[in-house]
Amino acid sequence: AQTVTQSQPEMSVQEAETVTLSCTYDTSESDYYLFWYKQPPSRQMILVIRQEAYKQQNATENRFSVNFQKAAKSFSLKISDSQLGDAAMYFCAYRSRGSQGNLIFGKGTKLSVKP
Amino acid sequence: GAGVSQSPSNKVTEKGKDVELRCDPISGHTALYWYRQRLGQGLEFLIYFQGNSAPDKSGLPSDRFSAERTGESVSTLTIQRTQQEDSAVYLCASSLAGAPGEQYFGPGTRLTVT
């Protein structure tokens, strides 16, 4: 079975600085998707960024980018120019490509942004 | 357009009572998922509906949990004889058929069992 591990329960960053959130996963599959979701206090899960495992190029979305290391099964999220609105829980998630099945989530990292 | 909606937003119930949680997916989304999020934890998969196919119930924690979906619209998650360990936020998500896992989440229902 696949597992997702986020080893940083909490992280803090100064406004305008850069922070990296870590995620590792375990799978025997070769083709899959990886995601980072943001969950603010409103509880609404918001998709931040998505990576397809067969693509070597790291995904980027404005200030958000990932460092995808397939061999190491690592998928970290980098947030540049951090803003107060980035403060939230961040969840790393995995999904098999072969079926439109459920997401497997890590336990999350709580990010605080200091003004 | 409208996103995924869930009701009620919050529910407090006494141990042993049954509860029903509702999810309205985005119109046209054939796939619907239920997840449970305990305090300080990630999301746990409960059940998945895809069109008219038999649902994937592999995540349901016990036979007290069940869910139904009417066609490709509303879904109801029912928890019978609630226990204190059922206290959690229950999140619903929907997606298009064939979409590469891009699930859109509702705001969740916070269930508290006293």
pLDDT tens-place string over residues A76-86: 999 999 999 99
- Which residues 37-66 on chain B approach chain A with CB closer than 8 angstroms? 40-45, 48, 50, 56, 59
pLDDT per residue over A15-65, tens digit each?
Answer: 999 999 999 999 998 889 999 999 998 888 999 999 999 888 999 999 999
Inter-CA distances, B96 with A99, B25, B84, B112, Å: 13, 10, 34, 31
Which segment of A53-57, A73-77, A91-95, B86-90 scores lowest on mean pLDDT? A53-57
Residues of B in contact with A49 (CB under 8 A): none
In A, which residues are within 8 Å of B89 by CB distance?
43
Give the count of Cβ contacts less than 8 A between chain A and B. 65
The verdict on whether omega for the bond into residue B55 sits within 30 degrees of 0, i.e. cis, is: no
| Chain B neighbors of A108, CB-CB under 8 A | 41-42
